[in-house]
Structure 1
Amino acid sequence: MQQESLHPDTPYTALGFYHKISHLRADTWNALKRDLGLLARGGDESRARHLVKAVDVKLTRLEIIEDYHAFPSKEDFRHLWSLFDREEFGLLEKVVNRLVRALISESYRRRHVDLSETDADAEDLETLDALNQLRHGHPASNSSAQPYFELLIVDNLSAQEEEVVREAFHNLRRPEDRFVYDVVTVRSFEDALIAVLVNPNIQACLIRYEFPYKSKYNLSALRNYLEGLSEQALENHSEAERSILLSSMIHELRPEIDQFLVTSGDVEATASRDIRHFNRIFYRETDYIEQHHTILRAIDSRYRTPFFDALREYSKKPTGVFHAMPISRGKSVTRSHWAGQMIDFYGINIFLAETSATSGGLDSLLQPYGPIKKAQEYAARAFGARHSYFVTNGTSTANKIVVQALIKPGDIVLIDRDCHKSHHYGMVLAGAQVCYLDSYPLDDYSMYGAVPLREIKKALLAYRRAGLLDRVKMLLLTNCTFDGIVYNVRRVMEECLAIKPDLVFLWDEAWFAFATFNPTYRPRTAMNAARTLRYRYRSESYPEEYAAWKAEFDTLDPDDDATWLDRRLIPDPEAVRIRTYATHSTHKTLTSLRQGSMIHVYDEDFRQRVEAPFHEAYMTHTSTSPNYQILASLDVGRMQAEMEGFELVHAQVETALSLREQLYTHPLLQKYFRVLKNSDMVPAEFRESGVESYYDPVTGWNQMEEAWARDEFVVDPTRITIAIGATGVDGDAFKNEYLMNKYGIQINKTSRNTVLFMTNIGTSRGAIAYLLDVLIKLAKEFEYRWEESSRPERKIIENRVRSLTRELPPLPDFSRFHDAFRIAGGETPEGDIRSAYFLAYDEENTEYLRFDNGELQAQMREGRDAVSASFVIPYPPGFPVLVPGQVVSDDILHFLQALDVKEIHGYRPELGLLVFTEAALDAPPSG
């Protein structure tokens, strides 16, 4: 929304959209500084009146935002208003300049900034901090200073009482403390929630005494979180009940925040309630010293990095190395006359920490008992899992570990066909009977969406009719997809469990690890959905809810598929088991070295049924010499996510929305680059909310929560897919020839007519500005190309554009497995991919047939079933269009012929497709 559209006397509705609050905060301070500079320099009276009004508007806006931050404090703002009211605009400009420098340099995190001081030394100090920030790109003492956080106190205090409390906590700070913190006070239930949404510095919350429900502001951002609550509904709640409810809601928004309760009531009775989200309860007479140390201890428990700390300590020890690894302790390079450049480039620490030792304070990844075990326990806490495991060779390996641990030969697995290739190879290794599920196609953009819930239920019901439901072991889906399509994970699990109560779910969240740390994203993650459903099914109210649902359901025909497909299903609480696994490419979306991944487990049957085979699978695929630097980075990445993940992901979303907004509204960019909206990537039947775009030019970004709360599929806005067909350049050429070769911009994913830009927690506003500048330059280049082209050249461009926008081949569905790889007479579609894969190992069982010259098509017209003997994976789009044992269809050949990509794994153009001979298909050996 446009900042200047807000009148100072109206409720600050911008807080209704908190996604861009930090951008709005920074931009408004800078605009205020600019206006004050103009005002201080003087000018005509009319202009001065306009500037005074503009300063008034911005101060009013900022006062509301800063109400939820410790710096500048409420006292600081009273000082600003005092200067404004006295019309001391020159002095106000100096104070605001200093304040802005303190915010930019973050010097307020390291020392007290007294805005009442106006001496030159104080200003020079802030300027020096700001310069260091600009030179180094981070605060000057980023790693050596005490980490800073803010403590939220919820209490209906007067302004004077607020200052007393703040001063009391300030006086307890000591130089030897590991952390330093400041205090934010709010006076209502709603204000507490908005504070944790807009202030990422809040790491701890102290809920004290009684407080009202309503905020003095119009906080429309809370409408999705406060559904069913009202001031009247809370009137009958006791102090303890209201505090517990607030604690629960803060936990839903920011589960990492440490919470404490100060009660003036019966503390023993309060302690006996459901207070699981409070770290500790204090009675009102408890002194501030105990609260201070308890808060610091809680922060410290999240700040610890057990394995990284152990590795750092190990690197300082003098050791004698009499085992493998000459590079350990840097010996082979420090003594070298030729390899010294490695020390110059990497520094010595990486070599001092390089070892294969599992003792001396370190640990074994294959059988952890010390710091690795503790680090994995902390990871489980951070991601809401029951167990978490580190993987040092990527999510491809993590996927294979989970599949091998849970699937034995003959088990049926339902899997989306366009998932990552590691899953397909995992099916081969496990000997699974594979039932491929087709995602909905986006033919106009040569990409797939995701698998509709209705199709998943259809498949389960087909196995139920065939009497094979007991053999269906797992549902394997990608959440979110490379292109950013996100499932309603909770609903998928709930309805599938109503058909098969012990179904195992494997959610490939390789691109979604960051989602845990944002309140809008988190409900659509596997671990959050598993935990939420388990609590729901174990609640006192759910059996009654299920009984009512079952009574109505029993009046319908259970043999009619419509009974199951046309209504929402819920599972039997007596039978249901929550068995959920997620794999994360931590290195893709959070801080970790490359190949650092995690497996997260929320399986009620893990200890009884899975733990032993899981560890066998883990040892099968895990190196006995894991990279300790990757493990350490996973440990640090987890800590960072717990301490500042909310802030970093929030900033990631902000930068992505800013990029989208510019692309939506810039006339020249719109001509050549069209950003795909929610409605472009999610068909209407999967958008219950009816939201077509998260952005509206008038109301701004205010519809995202509604879509994410209700729709079957949503689009992650941090993945920006741009249709480039109007340029006449295909995706692969645009990626390499234009973005990379000309401007050094790297992207991974393209289709024939789209490119995907992904923001992450490291993306800066400067990077977004650079990308926009490049796209504008390219748009101008395409504009000049058209203007300067002759008539024949324009015809060529038009033909290219038509090919990329209107002549796109429809994406082929999975055809079928050949009968040789299916159960004889079976009614269901699963196939034995393992037998087909290994049958191709014998050269006499296969032959090459070309389709570019019509050879393969001619044999198919004569009645031959051409059956693929290998995976065929074009890049892009990157999914297998053929798997071993699959019958080649005309649609698949048409798609392959229409592709203009150079890289197709499993296909040799000079030879053709590798298919099974007809003789081999008559009697294939068992897998």
Structure 2
Amino acid sequence: MTKIKSKSAPYYNIGQLRVDFWNKLKIETSELTRCRKGSTNEKTHKQKIKELLKDLKGVECFFASPGKERLRKLENAFASHEYASLSHAVLETTKQLFGDSYKSNPEFIDFDEHSIDAAEEHDQQNGVRKNHFEVLFMDNISEQEEHKLKHNLKALRTPNDKFTYGVVVQRSFQDALITLLFNHNIQAVVVRYAPSYLSKLSTPLIKPYIDELTEHDFSSKPETDLGPILGELIKQLRPELDTYYVTDTSLGHLKDNTIKGFRRIFYQTEDIQELHLTIMRGIEERYCTPFFSALVEYSQKPTGVFHAMPISRGNSVFKSRWIHDFGEFYGRNMFLAETSATTGGLDSLLQPTGPLKKAQEMARDAYGSQYTYFVTNGTSTANKIVMQALVKPQDVVLIDRDCHKSHHYGLVLAGAYPVYLDSYPIEEYSMYGAVPLAQITTKMLQLKEAGRLDNVKMLLLTNCTFDGLVYNVERVMEEVLAIKPDMIFLWDEAWFAFAGFAYNYKQRTGMFTAKKLYEKYNSEAYRKKYEEHIKGLKTGDRSELPDPDKVRIRVYATQSTHKTLSSFRQGSMVHIWDEDFRRKTENTFLEAYMTHTSTSPNYQMLASLDVGRRQVQLEGFELVEKSIELAMVLRAKVNDNPQLSKYFDVLTVHDFIPDKFRETGLKEYYTKREGWNRMDDAWQKDEFVLDPTKITLYIGKTGVDGDTFKNKYLMDKFNIQINKTSRNTVLFMTNIGTTRGSVTYLVNALLKISDELDDELKALNDKEMEIRDKRIYSLTQEVPPLPDFSYFHPSFQAVPGVPGGNLREAYFLAYDEENYEYIPLNECLATMGEGRKLVASTFVIPYPPGFPVLVPGQVVSEEIINFMTALDVSEIHGYRADLGLRVFKETVLNRHKIITSIGGMSKGKQKKQLI
């Protein structure tokens, strides 16, 4: 196994470095104003300021604001010994940079004239709150020409413009790429003719953060090709951006890929006003929210309500003497937007033709799918829709046993036969990992040998898992398609909706991979590779590559938009990249959609999905990166703080993923000695990676179990809410709504908890200390077993001896209360020891973790009973402690087995057997 040395850096990303250096400069310039002239202190501070200004100049050159012009003013003030003015300028710039004001009107703030407070007052008085963005120009022009370009573009602005923008000019291909990586405010890129290639701005300070870009070498390409190449790279790095090409190449000599690769192509001689208007129009189109805007417009119309819903317009609420407080809590707009009408500018979710249809099409473009559907009943319903649309009774589905329970219920509804796949166990922390690819291919080959591969319809995996494990989606799909080229993939991305807006993350999403593989398999280069591969095979060898003549790319992803992006609760989406959708699946999908979707969907939820799409298209790249950064900061804080690390550990990649699944050898994202390990190589190559926004805190050393820690400490004392615990861990998650203040509050809470644990420890007598030590030993050493899926009882096997079970039949057999009985949990092992096979008649789902340890028709194993006995969670769905485990009666199983076996006989044999 090749070990790839991870790249380390003192800061997680350039944003963290930028914040720290500006704050350092603020401190140093402030101290300088208090120094005695000619003192040693003054010399020390001046030297530090000089170095910081130089370093920041090498960073701000990639930003329009504050940018290199602001740095030049600061350098002039420093050189002129205007230290008070310099300190004030740095203070205002820092406040501007890390507040929100510069995003509305950054150019108004000039430290020679105004303060940040004055800028905000100016906005309020003039009713101005314009969103600000930046435009990247790649053009090898002089400084004088750059100033002229900025001046001319600024002169084209009008008071009626909804947006303002700043301009960043880069004179080389590499510097343009660095700007795209660093600068989240870039919303449009203008590529001008014939740029140079090598960076003119790169410094040692930024080198650790640009390695992933500089590894790609296009220096041998003609300069005339660099513009179109940059356009292609933008589609991979930041596909949400508008790209424009300015050239003097005649239309007859422009390649088709170049014409199609840019939103619009301009010629050098054209008026710059057209470029300006096109840039503004591009932002306006992404800013548009068809359904939300229609809902706002509807809410402002005077109407007479003679349809259902008394709550519409708030009439039944605000005139009530008893529930008016309900209206006051939510506000009038909530009720003004309530209606049961689908006309008057609104739309029907079940058969959209207007703003809802447009909103879903815009979501499609944002998420990189071919089709996107809004779901208002959560991803539980989205999963059932996709399952019912794609599989029919007796189809075989390869499914992660640890997936969300909605998938298992979807199998029952569809009547498909599940072949359960087991994730590798992480027993020390009482949780499961993910399904190894080797297990998937082994099951498929077993089914192929049994002649059942044609019955296999779908592979269903959770990506990413609740605990943050992410599959190598491309590798999984390629190896599976090599065995079964028409396999349908359902990626449950309930916790991964944000992933499409960060470069590393999106490469492990269903939609990005589907498009990538479709283009790959339809290329001449792949066909040639495949033909050479086939020629090299020996007789009987299995091809490791999919056949380009047979392979079909059929990928579905369900996403809980509300879990990781801006949407009201239950707002979800189904994304589809299926080259056979229109021909094979559209009708059944729409039927399933009709089956599970309410005819009275929540309009506020639909509007939130529409607005959430706008947000991720315009600032998703920035917000996702910040959520990752904050997660990394939290990890570092716990690891570096002696008081916190006394009781808590943040689990690392090494803790979650066995070595054999990490070919790059990356073990952890951060160490106190080496700093940040860059995770780019791991996300490209390892079979599994860990999403850093899922922070699992190991609390075994506290002697407190996860459920108690959540309730007694986090919730009761600090009102800190979390979703998941295990026996000895608690899971924290950062998202696009997480702030630096909330992370600081969490660290504050953990410090107070650790101090409290110190105080409790000091007060313990010998006997209490012994009890505490036993609790710690139990949580850290006495690890409960994590059982795999056992097997379906022969009565419920789809085909005897072959993976696959008749879940639906077992589920409905239990509708008759005469068919099952209860056995107390503490008697199960003894009953099994007497030779009886216990078969579950219902789903048994401990929460957490929230997936079935038993499904209807499954044989109960000794490991499962031991696991349930050791559980210390308060909820086990499908199990009643007062009654015991619900299992099928032996007589029912025997009778059902006979009926099942008879069903497989010829009619003559059936008659004889029954007689």
Q: What range is the shorter-chain TM-score in?
A: over 0.9
Q: Is the 8 A contact 2:150 2:167 kept in 1?
A: yes
Q: Is the 8 A contact 1:494 1:571 kept in 2?
A: yes
The CA deviation at 1:131 is 9.7
2:526 to 538, 542, 549: 542
Q: How does 1:206-225 map to 2 (within 5 A)?
A: 206-216=190-200, 217-218=202-203, 219-225=207-213
Q: Distance in 2 between matches of 1:130 and 1:665?
A: 38
Answer yes or no: is 1:442 the counterpart of 2:442.
no
User: What does residue 559 of structure 2 align with?
Assistant: 584
User: What does residue 906 of structure 2 align with?
Assistant: none
Answer yes or no: is 1:63 the counterpart of 2:47.
no
Residues 810 and 82 (structure 1 numbering): CA distance in 2 closer, same or farther, change over 3 Å?
same
Moved more, 533-542 or 220-229: 220-229
Cα deviations by residue, 1:22-41 (Å, 9 ceiling, x for unpaired): 23222322221121111011
The CA deviation at 1:371 is 0.4
Answer yes or no: is 1:346 the counterpart of 2:330.
yes
The CA deviation at 1:144 is 6.1
Please give the secondary structure, in 2, of the residue aligned with 1:516.
helix
Aligned residue identity for 1:265: T
Answer yes or no: is 1:808 the counterpart of 2:775.
no
The CA deviation at 1:340 is 1.3
Please give the secondary structure, in 2, of the residue aligned with 1:885.
coil
Answer yes or no: is 1:73 the counterpart of 2:57.
no
Residues 143 and 661 (structure 1 numbering): CA distance in 2 closer, same or farther, change over 3 Å?
farther
User: How many residues end up aligned between the 2 structures?
Assistant: 889
Q: Distance in 1 between matches of 2:784 and 2:857?
A: 24
Residues 698 and 253 (structure 1 numbering): CA distance in 2 closer, same or farther, change over 3 Å?
farther
Q: How does 1:187-266 map to 2 (within 5 A)?
A: 187-216=171-200, 217-218=202-203, 219-231=207-219, 233-234=220-221, 237-239=222-224, 241-266=225-250
Please give the secondary structure, in 2, of the residue aligned with 1:55.
helix
Answer yes or no: is 1:492 the counterpart of 2:476.
yes
Aligned residue identity for 1:223: D
Cα deviations by residue, 1:621-644 (Å, 9 ceiling, x for unpaired): 000100000000000001111011
Please give the secondary structure, in 2, of the residue aligned with 1:212.
coil
Please give the secondary structure, in 2, of the residue aligned with 1:893.
helix
Q: Is the 8 A contact 1:79 1:116 kept in 2?
A: no
Q: How does 1:191-590 map to 2 (within 5 A)?
A: 191-216=175-200, 217-218=202-203, 219-231=207-219, 233-234=220-221, 237-239=222-224, 241-270=225-254, 272-552=256-536, 554-555=537-538, 557-558=540-541, 569-590=544-565
Q: Is the 8 A contact 1:691 1:703 kept in 2?
A: no
Moved more, 619-628 or 668-677: 668-677
Q: Distance in 2 between matches of 1:336 and 1:372?
A: 33
Q: Distance in 2 between matches of 1:19 and 1:516?
A: 20
The CA deviation at 1:273 is 3.4
2:803 to 804, 829, 840: 829
User: What does residue 25 of structure 2 align with?
Assistant: 32
User: What does residue 139 of structure 2 align with?
Assistant: 155
Q: Distance in 2 between matches of 1:286 and 1:17?
A: 46
Identical positions, percent: 53
Aligned residue identity for 2:19: A
Long gaps (5+) in structure 2: 1-5, 904-915
Residues 549 and 698 (structure 1 numbering): CA distance in 2 closer, same or farther, change over 3 Å?
farther
Please give the secondary structure, in 2, of the residue aligned with 1:923.
helix
Q: Distance in 1 between matches of 2:854 and 2:121?
A: 57
Aligned residue identity for 2:383: N
Answer yes or no: is 1:867 the counterpart of 2:833.
no
Please give the secondary structure, in 1, of the residue aligned with 2:852.
coil
Q: Distance in 2 between matches of 1:222 and 1:143?
A: 41
1:178 to 149, 162, 168: 162
Please give the secondary structure, in 1, of the residue aligned with 2:168.
strand
Please give the secondary structure, in 1, of the residue aligned with 2:636.
helix
2:13 to 10, 14, 20: 20
1:666 to 641, 647, 650: 641
Q: Is the 8 A contact 1:39 1:52 kept in 2?
A: yes
Answer yes or no: is 1:711 the counterpart of 2:686.
yes
2:813 to 831, 839, 850: 839
1:45 to 31, 39, 53: 39
Q: Is the 8 A contact 1:271 1:281 kept in 2?
A: no
Q: Distance in 2 between matches of 1:143 and 1:675?
A: 47
Aligned residue identity for 2:658: P
The CA deviation at 1:599 is 0.2
Aligned residue identity for 1:883: V
Q: Distance in 2 between matches of 1:142 and 1:735?
A: 48
Q: Distance in 2 between matches of 1:539 and 1:476?
A: 27
The CA deviation at 1:698 is 4.3
Q: Is the 8 A contact 1:18 1:221 kept in 2?
A: no
Moved more, 170-179 or 466-475: 170-179
Residues 223 and 26 (structure 1 numbering): CA distance in 2 closer, same or farther, change over 3 Å?
closer
Q: Is the 8 A contact 2:193 2:246 kept in 1?
A: yes
Q: Is the 8 A contact 2:840 2:859 kept in 1?
A: yes
Answer yes or no: is 1:635 the counterpart of 2:610.
yes
Q: Distance in 2 between matches of 1:130 and 1:743?
A: 34
Q: Distance in 1 between matches of 2:848 and 2:213?
A: 40
The CA deviation at 1:14 is 11
User: What does residue 127 of structure 1 align with?
Assistant: 117
Q: Is the 8 A contact 1:102 1:130 kept in 2?
A: no
Cα deviations by residue, 1:346-404 (Å, 9 ceiling, x for unpaired): 11111111001111111000000000000000001000000000000100000000000
The CA deviation at 1:530 is 0.4
Residues 805 and 16 (structure 1 numbering): CA distance in 2 closer, same or farther, change over 3 Å?
closer
Q: Is the 8 A contact 1:18 1:197 kept in 2?
A: no
Aligned residue identity for 1:512: F
TM-score under structure 1 length normalisation: 0.93
Residues 142 and 550 (structure 1 numbering): CA distance in 2 closer, same or farther, change over 3 Å?
farther
Q: Is the 8 A contact 1:812 1:892 kept in 2?
A: yes
The CA deviation at 1:341 is 1.2
Aligned residue identity for 2:570: Q
Q: Distance in 2 between matches of 1:275 and 1:22?
A: 34
Aligned residue identity for 1:376: Q
Please give the root-mean-square deviation of Cα atoms over the aligned residues, in Å: 2.0
Please give the secondary structure, in 2, of the residue aligned with 1:572.
coil
Residues 667 and 101 (structure 1 numbering): CA distance in 2 closer, same or farther, change over 3 Å?
closer
User: What does residue 905 of structure 1 align with?
Assistant: 877
Q: Distance in 2 between matches of 1:90 and 1:289?
A: 41
Q: Distance in 2 between matches of 1:129 and 1:19?
A: 32
Q: Distance in 2 between matches of 1:621 and 1:354?
A: 22
User: What does residue 891 of structure 2 align with?
Assistant: 919
Q: Is the 8 A contact 2:497 2:561 kept in 1?
A: yes
User: What does residue 912 of structure 2 align with?
Assistant: none
Q: How does 1:851-862 map to 2 (within 5 A)?
A: 851-852=825-826, 855-862=827-834
Residues 779 and 556 (structure 1 numbering): CA distance in 2 closer, same or farther, change over 3 Å?
farther
Long gaps (5+) in structure 1: 1-12, 133-138
The CA deviation at 1:142 is 13
User: What does residue 4 of structure 1 align with?
Assistant: none
Cα deviations by residue, 1:279-307 (Å, 9 ceiling, x for unpaired): 01111111110001111111111111000
The CA deviation at 1:88 is 2.0
2:573 to 598, 607, 610: 598
Residues 402 and 311 (structure 1 numbering): CA distance in 2 closer, same or farther, change over 3 Å?
same
Cα deviations by residue, 1:294-343 (Å, 9 ceiling, x for unpaired): 11111111111000011111111111111110111111112212221122
Moved more, 395-404 or 867-876: 867-876
Aligned residue identity for 1:494: E
Q: Is the 8 A contact 2:828 2:865 kept in 1?
A: no
Q: Distance in 1 between matches of 2:598 and 2:587?
A: 18
